Structure 1
Amino acid sequence: MGRLQELLGIEHPVVQGPFGGGLSSVALASAVSEGGGLGSYGGHILGGDELGALVGALKAATGRPFAVNLWVPQPEEEGLRAVPADVERLRPYYEELGVGPPARADHPGFAEQAEALLAAAPPVISFVMGVPPAWVLEGARRSGIVTIGTATTVEEAVALREAGLDAVVASGSDAGGHRGAFLRPVRESLVGTFSLVPQVADAVDIPVIAAGGIADRRGVRAALALGADGVQVGTAFLTTEESGASRTHKDALLGPDARVTVLTRLFSGRTARAIPNRFLREMETHEQDVPPYPVQNALMLPIRREAAASGLPGLVNLWAGQAAPLARAARAADVLIALTRD
């Protein structure tokens, strides 16, 4: 058994990517955990009470280890509010879909979220977008909670190790969804998985989890050969039956359009990798105009939800990694078996 399995108490060195924004589900996380991997749930939009209930639901669904993921706040994003121009920029889409802007564009506080998770005590808490505060890590250690950080560069991996996290995800620029760069701008932190993983493995003495562009057992073998202790797989689990992704999103991931992905701030205010669609093409000139997360994320939420419910892929945030064409429609358990075969 490898050191990642020993640390996490799992059978297979596979972590299911923690999808945010409603794409995670208890069914998916528990299915992966029951199969011997580490199921994950992206909890960054949930308040403290919701996170407590989530951990309770996950513990009821599986007796095996699982992770809940939080986003570490960026200092420049604290206390932001939408201005009229931010709303007016999206007015045509609100009117087309028959929805309005949200009454509020704020976000649950990180301290509230972290306190709730420490009290609920999931087996693992994972973090993205930064180094969590010392009090959070100290509380996790006291409660026997394993902590995992996410790095997009070697420097970030070293910072996470020095802060005392138990393991690190080396997230290559191939990965879908949000980029977690926090020491340098995203444009200076786009290191491919093949380049990032061996450098991180050489730089830190804690288990390294490779992420980005891994969607089948060939990717798993490659990551382990590069020095990783395990892998984190996102898009290949996003297309499963248990995923919380909409049918519209899953169809896009399984179609030919998934061969092309781009980095964009337009859907959330933070840079993320997605399949380009009508919204991205129509709004591309405003890429640098939209407000940072969480304001843009909140303003877009009614649009994204209604478009997904109405089957309109042109207005949905189609998060996708560069290995999306390797994903298949299947049950989560079957994806895990395929990843770990041989």
Structure 2
Amino acid sequence: MSLLDTLNLSYPIVQAPMAGATTPKLAATVSNFGGLGSLGSGMTAPNVLTGQIDTIKSLTDRPFMINLMVLSKQEYTTIDTELPAWLSQYYRDNTIEFTLPKCPAQNFSEQLQVLYDNPVPVASFTFGIISAEQVQRLQSLGTLVIGTANHPLEAKAWADIGADAVCVQGVEAGGHRGGWLPQSESDPLGLLTLISQTRTCTDIPLIAAGGIMSGQAIKAVQTAGAELAQIGTAFLTTDKCGINDTYKQALLDASQDKRSSETRLTRLFSGKLARGLLNDYLRDFAEFESADTLPPYPQLNAMTKFMRAHASQNMDAEHLSLWAGQGVALVKKESTLELLERLVKAL
């Protein structure tokens, strides 16, 4: 049975999770339309996540997806690196006060427990892989399990532990890279190459992500071997998206030639590779980009949070993480429903 049938979808569209940008209303709007709406919950406290799941369930009776970031206990509890000198100097120069948190990220085990206690139709995972036992426990509760992969070997690893599908994320994708193996960083693959290479090592159903901005692109990835298309950047400038106005305007400016639509893969915001619009922060501190010298994720993410909060308060797009895929020049100011209707017209 195809994913479309398994999930009872009307259209082969998955709205990307995008932690910090998605909202229960956005997810429910997409699901009610006939796609798969999702909520990026990797940065959400467990008690808040429970409430958000309840909200989505109150807004739709269609399938929806919750996405979590897989982190070890060591990763989510430990800050054992120094604040980089250049970042410390930036905070002094701009009189930005900061106090590093005790833990740099949410407790993944407690977040996962929420999905056991308050089951959801679909759970997806990024930044790592869970155990076969955890996959089976979710499935026993009626939850479909979807992994994220930037490399065929990561997709095979998810298939081997019994996942129901894998989202293959090409290098074109905006936001954080979802893989975890060294191979996915040393030679990042474009989406169509990733789909074809993954098909040679596993027959697990695939969801394609990366640079998909139109109905024609959805058809192209289906032709290449994916069953569904996951779309993120196109939703960022729609009405149900939760990003701030400064970020949204920067994306629209990139689509209207008012600022460059050039994107970069960078570790400078979080310590983990992510694609976003080029801005002054990425230019000014490019020399510190090396993974060897930057604190790892999620430690650097916790350290730059104060800069990003200050930039948001001051409507300063040049020091925000403007996550966006390579298709950003095609974004439009429109309602979420208008985008969905535009996408399905070409299918």
TM-score of the pair, normalised by structure 1: 0.93
Name the aligned partner's letter for residue 124 of structure 1.
V
Q: Gaps spanning 5+ residues in structure 1: where? A: none
Report the CA distance shift for 1:215/1:74 in structure 2 as closer, same or farther (over 3 A).
farther
Partner-residue secondary structure (3-state), 2:182: coil
Alpha-carbon displacement from aligned partner over 1:72-130 (angstroms, at most 9, x marks no partner): 12687465315444377234236526442444342222111111112111111011122
Alpha-carbon displacement from aligned partner over 1:15-51 (angstroms, at most 9, x marks no partner): 001011x211112111111111001111111222122
Name the aligned partner's letter for residue 333 of structure 2.
A
TM superposition shift of 1:186: 4.2
The answer to whether residue 321 in structure 2 is matched with residue 317 in structure 1 is: yes
Q: Which moved more, 1:184-193 or 1:330-339?
A: 184-193
Partner-residue secondary structure (3-state), 1:15: strand
Partner-residue secondary structure (3-state), 1:149: strand
Partner of 2:198: 200
Partner of 1:10: 9
Name the aligned partner's letter for residue 16 of structure 2.
G
What's the RMSD between the two structures over aligned residues? 2.0
Distance in 2, Cα, partners of 1:328 & 1:184: 35
Alignment of 1:225-244 (within 5 A): 225-244=223-242
Partner-residue secondary structure (3-state), 2:124: strand
- Choose which of 262, 265, 270 in structure 2 pairs with 1:263: 265
Q: Gaps spanning 5+ residues in structure 2: where? A: none
TM superposition shift of 1:235: 0.2
Distance in 2, Cα, partners of 1:205 & 1:132: 20
Report the CA distance shift for 1:103/1:183 in structure 2 as closer, same or farther (over 3 A).
closer
Residue identity (%): 34
Whether the 8 Å CA contact 2:146–2:167 is kept in 1: the answer is: yes
Partner of 1:331: 335
Partner of 2:43: 45
TM superposition shift of 1:200: 2.2
Whether the 8 Å CA contact 2:76–2:104 is kept in 1: the answer is: no
Partner of 1:286: 288
TM superposition shift of 1:189: 4.3
Q: Which moved more, 1:10-19 or 1:199-208?
A: 199-208
Name the aligned partner's letter for residue 321 of structure 2.
N
TM-score of the pair, normalised by structure 2: 0.92
Partner-residue secondary structure (3-state), 2:67: strand
Whether the 8 Å CA contact 1:153–1:189 is kept in 2: the answer is: no
Report the CA distance shift for 1:300/1:85 in structure 2 as closer, same or farther (over 3 A).
closer
Partner-residue secondary structure (3-state), 1:259: coil
Name the aligned partner's letter for residue 272 of structure 1.
A
Name the aligned partner's letter for residue 338 of structure 1.
R
- Choose which of 300, 305, 308 in structure 2 pairs with 1:301: 305
